[in-house]
Amino acid sequence: MENILLLAHTEADGSLGKAGLEALATALSLGGALTVGLVGAATNAAAGQIAGCGAVRFLAVTGDAFGQPRYATDAAAAEALCRAADCQVVLAAGTSRWARALPGVAYRLGGRVDTHATSLAMAAGAPAVTRWFYRQRMEAVLSRTQRPWVVLLDPGCVAPWPGTPGAPGTATVEAVSVEPPATRTTVTGYRAPKADEQTIRPDAKMLLVAGAGWTKKQADGAVHATEAEQLILGFLRQAQASLGGSKSVVDQGGEGEAVLHCMTHMNQVGQTGSTPRHAKGLSTCCHGEEPHVVGWRFVNQRRAINLDAGCGWARGKADVLYVADAFEVMRRVNALLGA
């Protein structure tokens, strides 16, 4: 196996996040000599956290300028680490920070990049990436001859490196000196989308997908969007679930129809939304391909509630289809969860 560089950035508290530890587990599984390259305002804690992982070298670009997740400084740090490590394969977690910066770094190094990898493994003596194309509609296994080959591993695909028992160790870290590049960009903070409470929880066990049916006329001939929202939010709160929405339901705000205020484009799953990874998914009032196929690609156990027994998208895609009124069912589910 060729030499591997694992690039990892620290989190706000100076530690390595779960996605970084997943990438570390993948790097270790490949069997080559591993160099770890750390980036952050401070990197000692992160290096100590993985001191016992078996890496042959620890490199770090450290400084306040490198604490901000922004392209210019992240790309400069990653480029310097890649040049110092001189490894053929560069692996990193597919975080928003690395996804923004590393493609440009691959270009600077004359290498190539593959993102959204669900696996990087040895095949016939060479590393091979598995990833999806056409928005999770087909899966491919590919390899490249160009080096360095930068691979971004999607979070949630493998178990994170479990760590070594006991207190954090001490790693000998080689500082890589980088002059922070001139940049016109300053990160000023973070903002949650316009919603009353958190509805996106990437680490949740359960994904609740809500479709446009929630905002349509019900059996009594009236629209009950307010109650729909209360039921959905009540479920999210009690189950600590994450919320996904079909394109039709998130687009309704712009079309003058009844809206679910808890639903933004950030919640959208499917073709122009996300494809989140959760152990279980419950789809409600959805009647399209998007939530059931593309948006659910990485949901293991799937159940659906809708009024159409013949729903072609739920049939064959969900494990169980409950033909029932989602309002009635979710009212009772919430009552049971709250009991």
Q: Does 287 bind other proteins (CB under 8 A)?
A: no
- My answer on whether omega of the bond before 69 falls inside 30° of 0, hence cis, is no
Task: Give me the 24-63 binding string for other proteins, x by CB under 8 A, dash otherwise.
Answer: ----------------------------------------
Q: Which is nearer to other proteins, 86 or 319 (CB)?
A: 319
Contacts (CB under 8 A) with other proteins, residues 253-282: 254-255, 265-268, 271-272, 280, 282
Residue listed under structure tokens 């490196």: 161
Contacts (CB under 8 A) with other proteins, residues 302-331: 302-303, 305, 309, 314-325, 328-331
Q: How far is the CB of 167 from other proteins (least distance, A)?
A: 28
Residues 18/30, Cβ–Cβ less than 8 Å: no
In angstroms, what CA-CA distances link 256 with 59, 111, 214?
54, 48, 15
In the chain, what is the greatest distance between 2 CA atoms, to the nearest angstrom? 70
Partners of 92 in the beta sheet?
7, 152
Q: Which stretch binds other proteins (CB under 8 A): 27-35, 81-89, 169-177, 190-198?
A: 190-198
Q: Does 65 bind other proteins (CB under 8 A)?
A: no
Among 54, 144, 168, 225, binds other proteins (CB under 8 A): 144
Buried b / exposed e over 193-228, threshold 16 CB at 10 Å, is: eebeeebbbeebebbbbbbbbbbeebeeeeebbeeb
Among 29, 146, 226, 300, binds other proteins (CB under 8 A): 146
Among 162, 167, 186, 220, binds other proteins (CB under 8 A): 186
Between CA 239 and CA 236 the distance in angstroms is 5
Q: Does 214 bind other proteins (CB under 8 A)?
A: no
Among 28, 42, 128, 223, binds other proteins (CB under 8 A): 128
Among 32, 58, 65, 116, binds other proteins (CB under 8 A): 116
Nearest to 92 by CA among 182, 155, 177, 2: 155
For the record, the structure tokens of 213 come out as: 């049916």
Q: Does 220 bind other proteins (CB under 8 A)?
A: no
Contacts (CB under 8 A) with other proteins, residues 88-107: 95-97, 99-101, 103-104, 106-107
Collapsing DSSP to helix, strand or coil, 136 comes out as: coil
Residues 45/16, Cβ–Cβ less than 8 Å: no
Partners of 57 in the beta sheet?
35
Partners of 275 in the beta sheet?
none
Q: Which is nearer to other proteins, 56 or 142 (CB)?
A: 142
Q: Does 210 bind other proteins (CB under 8 A)?
A: no
- What radius of gyration do the chain's Cα atoms show? 23
Contacts (CB under 8 A) with other proteins, residues 227-246: 239
Between CA 275 and CA 299 the distance in angstroms is 9
Q: Which is nearer to other proteins, 133 or 196 (CB)?
A: 133
Q: How far is the CB of 337 from other proteins (least distance, A)?
A: 6
Q: Does 83 bind other proteins (CB under 8 A)?
A: no
Residue listed under structure tokens 């001191």: 51
